[in-house]
Chains A and B, each alone.
Chain A
Amino acid sequence: MHIAIIGNGIAGATAARHIRKLSNFSITLISAETDYFFSRTALMYVYMGHMKFDQTQPYENDFWKKNNIALKKGYVTQISHQNKTLHFAEGETMQYDKLILATGSVSNKFGWPGQNLKGVMGMYSKQDLDMLEACTPNTKSAVVVGGGLIGIELAEMLHSRNIGVTMLVREKSFWDLVLPAGESNMINRHIASHNINLKLEEELKEIIADDEGRVKAVITSKGDTIPCEVVGLTVGVSPNIAFLKNGDVATDRGILVNRYLETNISDIYAIGDCAQQHEAIGKRRAVEAVWYTGRMMGETVAQTICGVRTAYKPGHWFNSAKFLDIEYQTYGWVSAQPTENENHFHWKHPKHNLCITLAYEKQSRKFLGINTLGIRMKHAFFDDALTKGLLVDDVIANLGASNFDPEFFKTYEREIQTLFLNTKMPVS
């Protein structure tokens, strides 16, 4: 049995490792991006000089050979599922018995004039990093388009090299489609404190070139011209499925899969960023471009391939990020705007960049989720609270047990509990 896996990111690499743990199948991990699995989330730290690229690789290079996982560098252009053959851009072919598609994402481009000029790039792949490195030795100023997680990371990267950064963000406030107002405002102020020019409610209209076809400036939706040598397009990512366009594997935005991560073609599976659930799971998105969901889909598909057909059933939603110096964690669901039956309780430190928002059901007072900025909290605590369906009052009362900050850090449970008890929340 030969398992071919296209894509050596977290989803593909995890699938390969778990199939190896469970079977003696021969496994080939295919990538056109890099020789070895690396942590995409760490690319920013390479540019900022915190780490070297080889340190982003979680396993030593001989790990794959030791575990008998073959690595193949190549770009698959076509899948002939009738005779189970992969065709590579280099002209080679490869037979498979089962195929896992874990091709990840590509950066979105929305057809802006000038979006393919020299100096315009996304920030997703190793190639993007190399291009950014090649483009920025003498850059004085840059424009980052988009106010999401990658946008703020790219802004931080450029800023670390003393490049003046302007961020163009469509929304009224940073990431306010996800973050409630209190958190979003705190991030706005924090971005400004780093001398990054955050322009809200302003979008990209056009990128202008100089005589050599390099970026010279951008024109914004408000008609402003911002001179810059580099433009980062970080307006989200989409599944990387261009190579499937003329094939039989059913796609929509991503590769369509059922709960077992099976595509419409037998023996072809899709996992990670490139997979799209026919029906979204709970409040999760149908396409989830998140590190840990890639990992979990890899673990799940390995079970199925090794004989225990297993549905992908992610547990309670959680995530984390870092906005410059402010760490963000979330467990369960906190809506950006409280929905009809949802109340929010917000606590904010008067001086420091620390705040939390708890969401709970108005009538039943059931705990729905929590966002924290600047305070580390325990995943296990909230996972348990959500599984047990605890009331918000119980969560607040036991908040001390949720803290995961380092020793000697000041804790704020008292203040939070006091404010909670003194706040008369409307009960409808």
Chain B
Amino acid sequence: MSQNTGDIHTSMQLVHSSNQQHIKQKIAVAVGLTGLFILVLALLNADLPNRGFWLFAALGFIMAGTVLYANFLYLHKPAGVQMNGIWHKSLTGRGILGWAAGICITSLYVFLYWFPQYLGYNAGGNNTGLVALFDPLSIVLNGKPATQWFLYGTLYTVAILSFGYKFILKYRHSKYQVIRTCSVMFFQLGFAFLIPEIISKLNPDQPYFTRDIKNMWPLNHYFFEDWNLKGMLGGGNIGMFMLLFGLAMIFLISPVLTYFYGKRWYCSWVCGCGGLAETAGDGFRHLSDKSKAAWKFERISIHTVLVFVFVATVAVIYSFLGNDPALSIISRNLFIYGIVIFISVLVGALYFFKRKNLDKDAVYTMVSLGISMVLIILMNFFFGASNIFFTEGGTLMQWYGFAIGAVFSGVIGVGFYPIMGSRVWCRFGCPMAAILGLQQRLFSRFRITTNGGQCISCGNCSNACEMGIDVRAYAQKGENIVRSSCVGCGICSAVCPRGVLKLENGSETGRINGNTALLGNDVDLLEMIKKQH
């Protein structure tokens, strides 16, 4: 009986140490909530003296709380997959906390977009409330009082940085995940947040125009809107740089990078929407709908958005060309027919080179481009600059900005993280993702390869896919995964218990393979099964 006490001791120790961890985690949560509480106080117009101090305290507490929480959650355990209980927990398993969080985030977006005055934003005079709390930081960075968008950008960056840290600890066994997350944090902090603010500070008299060079059209739907174009054209060297770089991103940099690395170079390494999804949204990735019905809906919805943004953009430029002859380099007709020829050549070339392995996604994208083209021609024939599709040129884009830019990408896209997963926007709404996806499917070296007969159909890969791809359906057949929607986050590979999945860039030959027989059988049967299908 001598070891008896030892056994009890060990199991007591385990329980004891897990209790200790729980207490530490609770303290960390308390620290983070203290930071949030300061923000709430400010929101309720509590008159906080020395706003700079309190802002620093609030953001500091939030970040410190998250960092401590992550440390206490992961560092005492050996590195490895950390998915225990994600479906059991209220916050990440669509429980009450999940719904509560969803409603809170959704409300924040509603206020940001349509009622910034309640957050304390005052366009004409001094800010109050929460926005005022951010004034000191805004003045340091861009020389002006804060707007609700500065508040949003700051919190967004804080979220990506703190949850990025948590993500790195969670996936510290995977170097791919660590490097990728550093990239996402870097682009958010530098390119989306600091650089644009500092450019504004250095050029206080310039009108506002987009200064986040990684935020390219059509994700940045207002890139071609007249105020932005005029802003860039009148914005000196920086404006010209933004214009030229923006165009280069669309027509040169993006296609080349997507060819070599797939759309992941953007969607899960650079993009801000992706950045938030991969960090703050990571705990909700499993909530995406994996059904075939969802996939069907995804194809229709994302391509509808693509047509919408394309036509709206053309309409905006079309009106611009009419209204500002001085700034118009080409005539309207020339512009329209240029676009028509461009799309025709693009679709024609796609079809010619890829007609043998066109899948539904590709067909959908090509049909969308075709529909856009028809709409554009109709526009040129039947409507004038001031009346496009029975409305003003810019109105179409305003609708787009409201329905897609605000409601879809913000309110639903982020607000519904705890209900529908972290990539709702990227999957169902982002026109950028649609274009990059088409290229990824047809002209790219990227694929996820599978490892012979090792798949045990457990489904961890599908569960972890934030884009709702049923990865297992391919893995258990030994097929490469070459899907338009795959953002290349690599978590399917990280959670696979049998080492089956690998993200790779390689030769285009044999990239899309329809294996129906897995390695492991003797060669005769393999050959026979292959022939039968």
Partner-B contacts on A (CB < 8 A):
10, 18, 21-22, 39, 41-42, 45, 48-52, 55-56, 58, 60, 140-141, 160, 162, 164-166, 190, 193-195, 197, 222-227, 291-292, 295-296, 299-300, 303, 308, 310, 313-315, 318, 320-322, 324-325, 327, 329, 376-380, 383, 387, 404-410
B532 touches A (CB below 8 Å): yes
Residue pair B519, A164 in contact (C-beta under 8 Å): no
- Given A22-B532, A55-B463, A379-B519, A140:B11 Cβ within 8 A: yes
Instruction: For the complex, give the distance between the alpha carbons of A166 and B7 in Å.
Output: 8
Residues of A within 8 A of B292 (CB): 60
Chosen A-B contacts, 21 in total, with CB atoms closer than 8 Å, are A21-B533, A39-B456, A49-B88, A51-B463, A194-B78, A223-B1, A225-B4, A299-B521, A299-B529, A310-B528, A313-B524, A318-B520, A325-B79, A325-B80, A376-B451, A387-B523, A406-B175, A407-B490, A407-B503, A407-B504, A408-B179
Q: Considering only CB atoms, which chain A residue lies closest to B175 in the complex? A: A408
B52 at the interface (CB under 8 A from A): no
Smallest Cβ distance from A192 to chain B, in angstroms?
A: 10
8 Å CB contacts to A: which residues of B320-357? none
Minimum CB–CB distance for B458 against chain A, Å: 4
**Of the 9-residue stretches B32-40, B307-315, B367-375, B492-500, which lies at the interface with chain A?**
B492-500
Nearest CB in chain B: distance from A291 CB, A: 5
Tell me the B1-31 residues at the A interface (CB within 8 Å): 1-4, 7-8, 10-15, 17-18
Cβ-defined contact, A314 with B521, below 8 A = yes
A322-B459 CB under 8 A given contacts A60-B291, A140-B15, A408-B175 = no
Q: In angstroms, how far is the closest chain B Cβ from the Cβ of A295?
A: 7
Chain A: CB-nearest residue to B459: A55
Closest 10 CB pairs of A and B: A164-B11, A379-B452, A325-B80, A376-B499, A313-B522, A49-B85, A42-B458, A49-B88, A50-B83, A322-B497
Contact of A164 among B2, B12, B79, B523 (CB under 8 A): B12
Q: Bound complex: CA of A39 vs CA of B473, how far in Å? A: 13
Pairwise interchain contact A225-B476, C-beta atoms closer than 8 A: no
Inter-chain CA distance A231–B174, complex, in Å, is 35
Closest B residue, CB atoms, query A59: B473
Nearest B residue (CB) for A197 = B10
Question: Considering only CB atoms, which chain A residue lies closest to B88 in the complex?
Answer: A49
Tally of contacts, chain A with chain B, CB under 8 A: 203
- A408–B458 CB distance below 8 A: no
Smallest Cβ-Cβ distance to B476: which chain A residue: A58
Point out the residues of chain A lying under 8 angstroms from B520, CB to CB.
Answer: 292, 296, 314-315, 318, 379, 383
Q: Are A379 and B453 in contact, CB atoms less than 8 angstroms apart?
A: yes
- A22 to B494 Cα, complex, angstroms: 36
B512-533 contacts to A (CB < 8 Å) = 517-525, 528-529, 532-533
- C-alpha spacing A10/B472, complex, angstroms: 14
B contact residues, total (Cβ < 8 Å): 73
User: CA–CA, A50 to B291, complex, Å?
Assistant: 18
A244-B425 Cα distance, complex, nearest whole Å: 55
B266 to chain A minimum Cβ distance, whole angstroms, is 17
Neighbour of B525 across the interface among A140, A300, A329, CB < 8 A: A300
B149 within 8 A of A: no
CB of B457 closer than 8 Å to a CB of A: yes
Give CA–CA (A227, B7) in the complex, Å.
9
In the complex, the answer to whether A406 meets B523 with C-beta atoms within 8 Å is no
Please name all residues of chain A whose beta carbon is closer than 8 Å to the beta carbon of B79 when the two chains form the complex. Answer: 325
Q: Is the CB of A329 within 8 A of B522?
A: no
| B390 on interface, CB distance cutoff 8 Å | no
Given contact pairs A162-B14, A166-B7, A291-B457, a sample of 7 additional A-B residue pairs in the complex whose CB atoms are under 8 Å apart: A50-B87, A296-B525, A321-B498, A325-B80, A327-B497, A329-B499, A378-B452
Give the residue name and chain of the A residue nearest to B80 (CB): A325
- Chain A residues with CB below 8 A from B462, complex form: 55
B84 at the interface (CB under 8 A from A): yes
- How far apart sit A22 and B175, CA to CA, in the bound complex (Å)? 45
Q: Are B11 and A197 in contact (CB under 8 A)?
A: yes
From A320, A405, A408, contact of B498 by CB (8 A): A320
Nearest Cβ in chain B — how far from A420, in angstroms?
22
A383 touches B519 (CB 8 A): yes
**Distance, CA A13 to CA B517, complexed state (A):** 15
A45 to B459 CA separation, bound complex (whole angstroms): 9
Q: B293 CB to closest chain A CB, in angstroms?
A: 9
Asked if B296 is an interface residue, CB under 8 A from chain A, the answer is no
Distance, CA A140 to CA B10, complexed state (A): 12
A residues near B473, Cβ cutoff 8 Å: 58
A299 and B86 CA atoms in complex are apart in Å by: 36
Residues of chain B contacted by A141 (CB below 8 angstroms): 8, 11
Are the C-beta atoms of A380 and B452 separated by less than 8 Å? yes
B491, chain A: closest CB distance, angstroms: 11
For B498, list chain A residues within 8 Å (CB): 320-322, 327, 329
B507 to chain A, nearest CB (A): 15
CB-CB under 8 A from B14, the residues of chain A are 162, 164, 195
* B17: A residues at CB distance < 8 A: 195
Set of chain B residues within 8 Å of A166, measured between Cβ atoms: 7, 10-11
Indicate if the CB atoms of B84 and A48 lie closer than 8 Å: yes
Q: Is the CB of B452 within 8 A of A318?
A: yes
Determine which of A52, A292, A321, A376 lies in contact with B453 in the assembled complex, contact meaning CB atoms within 8 Å. Answer: A292
For A327, give the chain B residue with the smallest CB separation. B499
Question: B249: CB under 8 A from chain A?
Answer: no
Residue on B nearest A162 in the bound complex, by CB:
B18
With A41-B457, A55-B463 as known contacts, state yes or no: A406 contacts B4, CB within 8 Å.
no
Distance between Cα atoms of A286 and B18 in the complex (Å): 44
Contacting residues, chain A, for B529 (C-beta < 8 A): 18, 299
Min CB gap A318→B, angstroms:
7
CB of B502 within 8 A of CB of A404, answer: yes
Closest to A409 in B: B175
CB of B459 within 8 A of CB of A42, answer: yes
Chain A neighbourhood of B452, CB < 8 A? 318, 378-380, 383
> What 1/0 flags go to B450-476 for Cβ under 8 Å of A?
011110111110110000000011001
A160 to B80, CA, bound (A): 13
Give chain A nearest CB distance to B436 CB in angstroms. Answer: 19
Residues of A with C-beta under 8 A to B194: none
A322–B462 CA distance with the chains assembled, in angstroms:
18
Query: Distance (Å) between the CB of B464 and the closest chain A CB?
Result: 9
Per the bound structure, the CA–CA distance linking A406 and B174 in Å amounts to 8
Residues of B contacting A410 in the complex (Cβ-Cβ under 8 angstroms):
175
Among candidates A160, A222, A329, residue contacting B85 with C-beta atoms closer than 8 Å:
A160
Residue on B nearest A295 in the bound complex, by CB: B518
Q: Across the interface, which residues of B come within 8 angstroms of A300, CB to CB?
A: 521, 525
Judging by beta carbons under 8 Å apart, are A224 and B3 in contact?
Answer: yes
